[in-house]
């Protein structure tokens, strides 16, 4: 479904609760775990893909981000989710970004410091979807924990009643968090990438963690502890990976 009025009509007819899963598309089993959770909890599940430049700090990253709507629809169907909503960016942003939402603290740290503007774009898109679709429940992955915290803060600040459901990180057998970007890794690179969560979890002091990652071939964007959680972002041969673990 692409049309904003059409989805509004579909939601009007729904008698039970509505679950929303916002995404950038190119689905994998990590995304599907969110779809399944929403299907289990709600009468109607809307998966929404909004792939627009404001969510990316780097225009080239937006251009090269994998776009797979046909495969995505099959993956949505396989979980029993009801609607894949891909709004026309021009309909969603008719005002050419005159209005955007800005968080001026936490969004400038870690992921935000390394990808300036990214969170303001993501928050603007999610706020628009929340106001447009008025879901009862919003499903977000712990893979993007900083985003999860920022959305929680935004909903509290703007009196949005939608309940936020945080969903655990789904990992490959080797421990690497599933990510759309993993498809850019060769098999040998995937084996190296799997050491990233292991090193993050080892809970060495931050400097030693960085050194250990560099020794394993990663370029480190950041490793930081915040609110009993260790966050990290690394680059392996131009593929950027993020992860986070709970601190004891
Ligand atoms: P994205 O399409 O990357 O914006 O992701 C859409 C949603 O899926 C976000 O809430 C992500 O945190 C979540 N997600 C992505 N990868 C995973 C994963 N491996 N495990 C759990 N949730 C994930």
Instruction: Please state the rounded mean pLDDT for residues 140-163.
Output: 98
Kindly state the percentage of the chain with pLDDT values over 90. 91
Instruction: Please state the rounded mean pLDDT for residues 222-238.
Output: 96
| E-only strand ranges, the chain | 18-23, 44-49, 83-85, 137-141, 163-167, 219-226, 229-236, 239-246
* Measured CA distances, 127 to 132, 136, 152 (Å): 8, 14, 11
Ligand 1 centroid to residue 103 C-alpha, Å: 21
The whole-chain average pLDDT of the chain stands at 96
pLDDT at 149: 98
Ligand 1 pocket test target in 19, 23, 119, 125 with most atoms within 8 Å of CB: 23
Helix (H, G, I), strand (E, B) or coil at 57: coil
Q: Which atom of ligand 1 is nearest to the CA of 180?
A: 3
Q: Which atom of ligand 1 is nearest to the CA of 24?
A: 2
Cβ–ligand 1 distance for 24 under 6 Å, the answer yes
**Residue with the nearest Cα to atom 14 of ligand 1?**
141
At 201, which helix (H) or strand (E)?
helix 195-201
pLDDT at 5: 95
The sign of the CA dihedral 127, 129, 131, 134 is: negative
The answer, as to whether pTM is greater than 0.95, is: yes
Residue with token string 């969170």 = 119
Ligand 1 pocket test target in 141, 167, 233 with most atoms within 8 Å of CB: 141
Q: Which atom of ligand 1 is nearest to the CA of 144?
A: 12
Helix (H, G, I), strand (E, B) or coil at 137: strand
- The pLDDT tens digits of the residues spanning 156-169 come to 999 999 999 999 99
Banded model confidence at residue 203, pLDDT cuts 50, 70, 90: confident
pLDDT at 61: 87
């Amino acid at each position: 479904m692409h049309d904003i009025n059409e989805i509004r009509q579909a939601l009007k007819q729904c008698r039970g609760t509505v679950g929303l899963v916002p995404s950038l598309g190119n689905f994998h089993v990590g995304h599907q775990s969110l779809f399944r959770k929403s299907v289990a909890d709600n009468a109607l599940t809307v998966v929404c893909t909004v792939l627009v430049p404001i969510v990316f700090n780097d225009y080239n990253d937006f251009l090269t981000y994998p776009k797979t709507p046909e495969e995505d629809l099959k993956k949505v169907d396989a979980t029993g989710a009801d609607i894949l909503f891909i709004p026309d960016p021009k309909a969603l942003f008719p005002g050419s970004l005159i209005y955007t939402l800005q968080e001026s603290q936490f969004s400038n740290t870690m992921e935000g410091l390394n990808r300036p503007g990214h969170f303001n774009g993501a928050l603007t898109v999610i706020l628009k979807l929340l106001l447009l679709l008025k879901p009862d429940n919003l499903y977000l992955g712990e893979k993007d924990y900083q985003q999860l915290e920022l959305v929680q803060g935004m909903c509290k600040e703007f009196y949005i009643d939608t309940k936020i459901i945080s969903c655990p990180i789904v990992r490959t057998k080797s421990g690497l968090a599933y990510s759309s970007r993993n498809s850019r890794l060769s098999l040998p690179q995937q084996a190296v990438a799997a050491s990233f969560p292991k090193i993050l979890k080892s809970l060495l002091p931050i400097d030693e963690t960085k050194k250990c990652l560099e020794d394993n071939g990663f370029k480190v964007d950041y490793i930081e502890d915040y609110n009993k959680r260790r966050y990290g972002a690394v680059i392996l041969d131009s593929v950027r990976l993020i992860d986070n673990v709970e601190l004891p």
